[in-house]
Structure 1
Amino acid sequence: MYNNVMKLYKLSFPTTSKAAPIFGDVLAEVVLAVSWYEVDEDTDHWIFECTLNNETSHQNLRELITETAQSHHLPVPEIEVCDLPDTDWLEQTWKNFPARQIGKFFIYGSHSKTDIPVDLIGLEINAATAFGSGEHETTTACIEALTKMHAQGWQTRHPLDMGCGSGILAMVIAKLWQLPVLAVDNDPESVRVTQANAQINNCADTITALCNEGFDGNAVKSKGPFDLIVANILAAPLCDMAPDMAQSITPKGRVVLSGLLVRQLNEVRQAYEKVGFTLIDQHIIGDWAALVFEQ
């Protein structure tokens, strides 16, 4: 019988906000998953974690981390490795991803036996290798913002999902407004997952998913300007993108931004107001926020 239980380990070490992505780029290719989170904003203390199985040499990872630190003139971190409890990860994923209603949408995984309520729009999204299965507050806030805009009668004719992840926001737009959506991401795996999810949800004819680095490259430049841009990324890249957003949006066009913490709200707001946007709405869920700007 197939067994979903596998032996996993967690490797972790202290780092900083600037160093974490450097380690992430290197280790993402050789482990199952990487993540990092902030411990203390005042001291820029972050923790980097990666998950690995028993086929990955702990010693090789230690050497790789040391080489990466030295080549980037970073302190060599003190590394800890611990066992993760034996878990049926497939069953655990299903338990952690129950069907849920967000705005006008009923989002569920393929494991769900629940019928779709007649007054809601069903979206089948499975936890996968690309971000955006609906369970995170940032995705929820974006869907609520888009649902509210649609309910208020606001119209879009040429939308863009920037950093599409699983493609969930592109599908929300396509389902609400019944029109084609361009979805781009700099990760080929996200593009693949978006295309697969579009097929599952009968959006293959309305969603074009392409690999593109932000606003650079013909995938976005040749198809703009857009009257709606959604971007569920992170605060820092969102701020960096503000000038490109302003150049790529039509007059009276809107951008929906998320992936930012409430304490980062003013920073993002200032970056977008500086290039001519006006904040018209915000959706806050816990520590996370989604902002709606109009040009």
Structure 2
Amino acid sequence: MSDSWKVTLPCTRAEAEAIDPEGAAFADMTAPPVLMTRELTEDDVEDWVLDAYFQDEPGMREIAMLRALVPSAGDTAVVPERIAEQDWVTLSQSGLEPVATERFYVHTSANKGEVPAGLRAFHIEAGLAFGTGHHETTTGCLMTLEAMRAAGQVVRNHIDVGTGTGLLAFAAMHLWPNARATASDIDPISIDVTRVNAEVNGVKLGTGPGRLELAVAPGLAHRTIERRAPYDLVCANILAGPLIELAPAIAAATLPGGTAILAGLLDRQADGVLAAYRRAGFRLAGRIQLGDWPSLRLVRRPIR
């Protein structure tokens, strides 16, 4: 087995929150690094750290790309740390504590802990795809789904756009087990990850009720997604820019009276996203705020 490499740089909370969780800065790399941020001193917005895990020893170009993400690091010396292959998963996930919501418990293999009674556990490894449940955006979406189910909302046909790891699709399938389910992502790797996670978590793939159909697609532009529309629930935990771009397409794919859950945006970006969806025929029906990350629940107005 070959060794892997770790690079650590200091950063601020603002820089940490501005980092693209899907690693777009390294999109042209065959093996992009796993990027993780953590707070060193509680409530100190200046004392954060960026850890980057590489499969191969990073060169000057990769280190320069990291520095561009955290300008406050300045000329801090960077010495890539070699880590043994068998320690890769444990090290990259060491800061990921299990996440427990009202109905769900999300964990990695490194930190399973004790699953609380009555919760549906999902084993989701951190790695090449975004959406492990350990970020406020994904957790907020899980809580929004739970609130919908608690309010008695019925979902018969749902889609998770930009699914990442498949977690939100799996959660919706647990809450509405007889619904048709679809998960899509522009990144083929994410769909491969979702397929593996489905097997690990006992989620059935297929086309019928209670099974998950997968599609590699930019947004909603795919014949499978179009064929299965309209949806009474659309989840999109991506980024603010793509959310705004997709507003007309998501509106067209959502039943009147149906719900769209939007996340992946910072609090300061919410007004712009909401404006785009109001123009597309949605109204704001709920909002969950975790730190600086809102999860928006929108309802499509009836067509007149």
- Asked if TM exceeds 0.5, the reply is yes
From 250, 255, 258, the equivalent of 1:250 is 255
TM-score (ref. length: structure 1): 0.77
**Partner AA of 1:200 in structure 2:** V
Q: Which residue number corresponds to residue 68 of structure 1?
A: none
Residue 25 of structure 1 pairs with residue 24 of structure 2: no
How far apart, in 2, do the equivalents of 1:95 and 1:22 lie?
23
Structure 1 residue 190 corresponds to structure 2 residue 190 = yes
Task: Write out the 4+ residue segments of structure 1 that deviate beyond 6 Å after TM superposition.
Answer: 78-81
Amino acid at match of 1:235: A
- In 2: Cα distance, 1:8 partner to 1:176 partner: 39
RMSD: 3.3
Instruction: Measure, in 2, the Cα distance between the counterparts of 1:244 and 1:79.
Output: 45
| Pairing of 1:1-295 with structure 2 (within 5 A) | 6-9=4-7, 24-26=26-28, 28-29=29-30, 31-33=32-34, 52=54, 55=57, 57-58=59-60, 82-85=78-81, 88-112=87-111, 114-178=113-177, 179-205=179-205, 206-295=211-300
SS state at 1:245 partner: helix
Report which of the two structures shows the higher radius of gyration computed on alpha carbons: 1
Structure 2: give runs of 5+ residues left out of the alignment. Answer: 10-17, 38-49, 66-73, 206-210
Which residue type is aligned with residue 204 of structure 2? A
Q: Distance in 2 between matches of 1:185 and 1:22?
A: 14
Superimposed CA distance per residue, residues 20-41 of structure 1 (whole angstroms, 9 cap, x where no aligned partner): x985433x336435799xxxxx
**More off after superposition, 219-228 vs 152-161:** 219-228
Distance 2:120 2:27 in 1: 37
**Change in 2 beyond 3 A, CA 1:7/1:123:** closer
Name the residue aligned to 1:40. none
Q: What's the secondary structure of 1:82's corresponding residue? A: coil
- Structure 1 distance, partners of 2:93, 2:35, is 21
The 8 Å contact of residues 191 and 216 in structure 2, kept in 1 or not, is answered as yes
- Asked if the contact 1:24–1:34 (Cα under 8 Å) also holds between the matched residues in 2, the reply is no
**What is the rounded CA distance, in whole Å, between the counterparts of 2:224 and 2:97 in structure 1?**
35
Where 1:111 maps in the other structure, the secondary structure is coil
Inter-partner Cα distance in structure 1 for 2:127 and 2:134: 12
* Superimposed CA distance per residue, residues 203-256 of structure 1 (whole angstroms, 9 cap, x where no aligned partner): 124222221111112131121111100000001110111111111111100000
1:193 partner letter: V
What's the TM-score once normalised by structure 2's chain length?
0.75
Q: Deviations over 1:134-191 (max 9, x none)?
A: 1100001000000000011001100000000000000000011113310000101100
Number of residue pairs aligned between Structure 1 and Structure 2: 262
- What are the ranges of 5 or more consecutive residues in structure 1 without an aligned counterpart? 37-47, 66-77
